[in-house]
Structure 1
């Protein structure tokens, strides 16, 4: 491996802005070495030993004990660490020569992010060696400070910790160490599949997101890193989670590939009741697409890191919910029982759909959460936040268990994360939603209908894509079609609308393609929140994904 890529946090992009929001209540979060985690909040912190016994069970017991203690806060850093601002932070890089594990016989390398600015609290890193853990120390010698900043930084000074870390790996070619993933800011982290560029992020936990309680941002305070002893393509990351309402111990087994997988086990211990617990939370950005592009004067056809929420049920149904940049805060809840998977996807992979030579939105990874074990009943929640900047993360999705978390509870969740393109294989029976478009309702060439909007859904592929046009029903006159309009051997759209009415509907196959286009005109009262559902059925079965959408008729 002859070269690598390791640099400062990407401060000019959306990811940093979301981190800023996440760490805003920084003084709420405490940090203590592993040996002190279970001590009383007021106890004097001992010096961390050179090496200490370690296992996931030991870590879990210590976090369980910590949950019985008051939440400890920590003062802001002093000296030059407390003086760093945005401009200073851009001048700091981790030195390539300081990357860890060069002599460990592992294909991974580890670099650190500097403390300060948005990251005032120290995060401590430990290396796991067998059944022991030894702290990894960092100093100002490990970082490059450019321009006038170099004159303000003390030489050879040991840092109290770092802001987080990143892992490099020869993901795309054997002679180059690409950045594979990073952990920085609260409990945020992200990974890449082969050929991916950074986009959406994940978090360790969401607590009271968009609720009356006010959101908490628990943070990963200590990391324990264990590369495979035999030099294989796997690294295990353990982490401690600390927040006002919850503590936790996490184990993440990371395997880089064309689709990088991360097997997560989260053991959670609750200090307080939690109004809404978000397990396996995902965070992304949706600015605009074909269905809302008219609101944005931009040469690019689409701007988003993710374009839809996908939920796959054990019974065979697959739900596709296109994302939106709403006029006001929006929340959607999807009742589920032990789903096969859910996640945020970037389904459109064509450069021509974005024409952005800097952001390369077509390369942003999709991310699926695959529950391991029985998660029982719960809800997948989607939160959509209005934004007028593509630099802002405005999409959140996560699992809400049926039973609320109470003070004194202990919970464990296991799941597998899939980071990558997650392309459809072309062999699926169900046609998928290829595109969603929207505009003024009514007939082209005539004045638009007041209070009406047209939704156009293209279903592509599957068995439906192989069917000829003439298998459809006679002209649709009733909505939804009555049972006596045709036999099961004919295909028909099944459309439902809550809090609105269907004003017109057509279903046609696009000539020379495997795409069927469903167009639905919907009317609703001013400010009505309209929930729409559509799929195509025939031969006694669903032939497409179930398309879901929320339209708020805001004037």
Structure 2
């Protein structure tokens, strides 16, 4: 278990305990699974009043500390489908510590639904843990393993654990940022609501399957929902997501395809950090391909005060929290290997209408906190007592899946020029900038309520890209909105860099 799992668990709220546990043992026959099975459960759940989940645990598990919980290990040889030599295996997380909510897990094979029951013997336990009856207390979550790096070894490729959080990696990567099933009231003064996945159905894969299908039932005070995840690990790990949402009340601030990450400091923001590392972050920027055909790049920040940025749009092509810096020298951290953290790109499918990409940057003084969130918020509230269908694709990997026709920004550096001015140094790479006459390239920089001076563009022979630098007067300013790009003649040859400077 790691820092992010702890954070997600502590954020979780209770879910409804009433779940039709249609098992052969209880009913005498296993129910038949259909494409609408979980959707019908979600619809029925939303028609009932919300009720907190049953968090009852044996006394020995109620008050585990971090080290005690870490000592509880699932036995890999007991993994689901291990003995059948299938392309996927599933291991399970024990309840306890912050993970008190029971998560029901079922296997689906030949349309039959069978419960995956807790067995104490499937886990090993550290010293000092008490005893409790060997009864089915359920699970906290699960993780999926597949031979993503080597054909003869099953690596962990994704995990569902805590509230509605899940994470994944692509080939050669380590865990970083997370996605969520649903966010409600993120950044609102009344406090955020954290829906939870309360049950999962795992479709047994065929021996030659290239994907694994996972169904999930989500619940919260305001809404219930069903999900169908089609998971394809690889050079980029892709989740195809089909979501059916059933609000109990009008949901005014719904966050769809929410993702969370960590930005502690980087070359644009080192003012308060005395650290041997040049940068510490799981993501360094928010990329947006908006519905107007613009490509935007917003470097992340660790501000002194909460910052909320809204990018109004209609039918976006996609957005994501990206880790563009892939050079170890940029981090110098042998343990955390930030250069191997995945980017996460959201690709909507179908008509998503009017709304906004929202970015939340939360101040933090420790790198253990996920202080960055991004999501899509529909313009209109999601009406109660109705069905809302959303289909989208999540790409976990080294970069956005779409080819970029424009040069892109790879680094944002900021330094002081006296007390009244800041120097911005932006690095770009892209085939569009190779071999062009430097005299034909110009930097276009604008600022809201601030003076821009000394705009310089020049090739960078070290990176093979270009550098754009400028100075911005900051005296007396509390926030400055900046915008920059490179142009050849009147045509842009780079994406648009947008940034909010704060003291």
Shorter-chain TM range is: over 0.9
Q: Hey, what does 1:146 align to over in structure 2?
A: 126
Output one character per residue of 1:266-294: Cα deviation in whole Å (capped at 9) or x when no partner: 10000112231100001100111111124
Output one character per residue of 1:56-95: Cα deviation in whole Å (capped at 9) or x when no partner: 3122122112112110113432422323332321210001
Q: Hey, what does 1:482 align to over in structure 2?
A: none
- The reply to whether residue 495 of structure 1 matches residue 442 of structure 2 is no
TM-score of the superposition, structure 1-length normalised?
Answer: 0.86
Kindly tell me: are residues 256 and 424 of structure 1, through their superposed partners in 2, closer, same or farther at Cα, counting changes over 3 Å? closer
Kindly tell me: are residues 262 and 146 of structure 1, through their superposed partners in 2, closer, same or farther at Cα, counting changes over 3 Å? same
- The reply to whether residue 358 of structure 1 matches residue 308 of structure 2 is no
Q: Hey, what does 2:486 align to over in structure 1?
A: 536
Of 385, 393, 397, the residue aligned with 1:420 is 397
Kindly tell me: are residues 317 and 347 of structure 1, through their superposed partners in 2, closer, same or farther at Cα, counting changes over 3 Å? same
Kindly tell me: are residues 362 and 319 of structure 1, through their superposed partners in 2, closer, same or farther at Cα, counting changes over 3 Å? same
Kindly tell me: are residues 48 and 539 of structure 1, through their superposed partners in 2, closer, same or farther at Cα, counting changes over 3 Å? farther
Q: Hey, what does 1:81 align to over in structure 2?
A: 61
Q: Hey, what does 2:159 align to over in structure 1?
A: 182
TM-fit CA distance, 1:314 = 5.2
TM-fit CA distance, 1:213 = 2.9
Of 432, 446, 449, the residue aligned with 2:408 is 432
Q: Hey, what does 1:372 align to over in structure 2?
A: 349
Match of 1:390, SS? coil
Of 15, 18, 32, the residue aligned with 1:32 is 18
Output one character per residue of 1:155-192: Cα deviation in whole Å (capped at 9) or x when no partner: 6x123210000011111001111111100000000011
TM-score of the superposition, structure 2-length normalised?
Answer: 0.95
Q: Hey, what does 2:466 align to over in structure 1?
A: 516
**Aligned ranges 1:337-356 → 2 under 5 Å:** 337-356=314-333
Are the aligned partners of 2:87 and 2:205 in contact in 1 as well (CA < 8 Å)? Answer: no
Cα distance in 2 for partners of 1:98, 1:19 equals 26
Are the aligned partners of 1:533 and 1:549 in contact in 2 as well (CA < 8 Å)? Answer: yes
Cα distance in 2 for partners of 1:31, 1:172 equals 39
Output one character per residue of 1:308-348: Cα deviation in whole Å (capped at 9) or x when no partner: 11112355421111111111111111112222221011101
Backbone CA RMSD of aligned residues: 2.0
- The reply to whether residue 103 of structure 1 matches residue 83 of structure 2 is yes
Cα distance in 2 for partners of 1:512, 1:214 equals 48
Cα distance in 2 for partners of 1:326, 1:313 equals 25
**Aligned ranges 1:269-348 → 2 under 5 Å:** 269-313=246-290, 316-348=293-325
Output one character per residue of 1:195-247: Cα deviation in whole Å (capped at 9) or x when no partner: 01000010001100011231011100000001323531211000000000010
Kindly tell me: are residues 91 and 235 of structure 1, through their superposed partners in 2, closer, same or farther at Cα, counting changes over 3 Å? same
Cα distance in 2 for partners of 1:47, 1:212 equals 45
Cα distance in 2 for partners of 1:229, 1:52 equals 21
TM-fit CA distance, 1:50 = 5.5
Cα distance in 2 for partners of 1:515, 1:64 equals 53
Match of 1:367, SS? strand
Kindly tell me: are residues 299 and 433 of structure 1, through their superposed partners in 2, closer, same or farther at Cα, counting changes over 3 Å? same
- The reply to whether residue 22 of structure 1 matches residue 21 of structure 2 is no
Q: Hey, what does 1:465 align to over in structure 2?
A: 434
- The reply to whether residue 260 of structure 1 matches residue 265 of structure 2 is no
Of 114, 119, 124, the residue aligned with 1:134 is 114
Cα distance in 2 for partners of 1:91, 1:514 equals 49
Kindly tell me: are residues 270 and 88 of structure 1, through their superposed partners in 2, closer, same or farther at Cα, counting changes over 3 Å? same
TM-fit CA distance, 1:368 = 0.5
Are the aligned partners of 1:347 and 1:423 in contact in 2 as well (CA < 8 Å)? Answer: no
Match of 2:36, SS? helix
Kindly tell me: are residues 52 and 526 of structure 1, through their superposed partners in 2, closer, same or farther at Cα, counting changes over 3 Å? farther
Cα distance in 2 for partners of 1:177, 1:214 equals 40
Which structure is larger by alpha-carbon Rg, 1 or 2?
1
- The reply to whether residue 120 of structure 1 matches residue 66 of structure 2 is no
TM-fit CA distance, 1:127 = 0.4
Q: Hey, what does 1:51 align to over in structure 2?
A: 30
**Structure 1 residue ranges, 4+ long, deviating more than 6 angstroms after superposition:** none
Cα distance in 2 for partners of 1:512, 1:383 equals 34
Are the aligned partners of 1:283 and 1:394 in contact in 2 as well (CA < 8 Å)? Answer: yes
Kindly tell me: are residues 469 and 162 of structure 1, through their superposed partners in 2, closer, same or farther at Cα, counting changes over 3 Å? same
Are the aligned partners of 2:240 and 2:392 in contact in 1 as well (CA < 8 Å)? Answer: yes
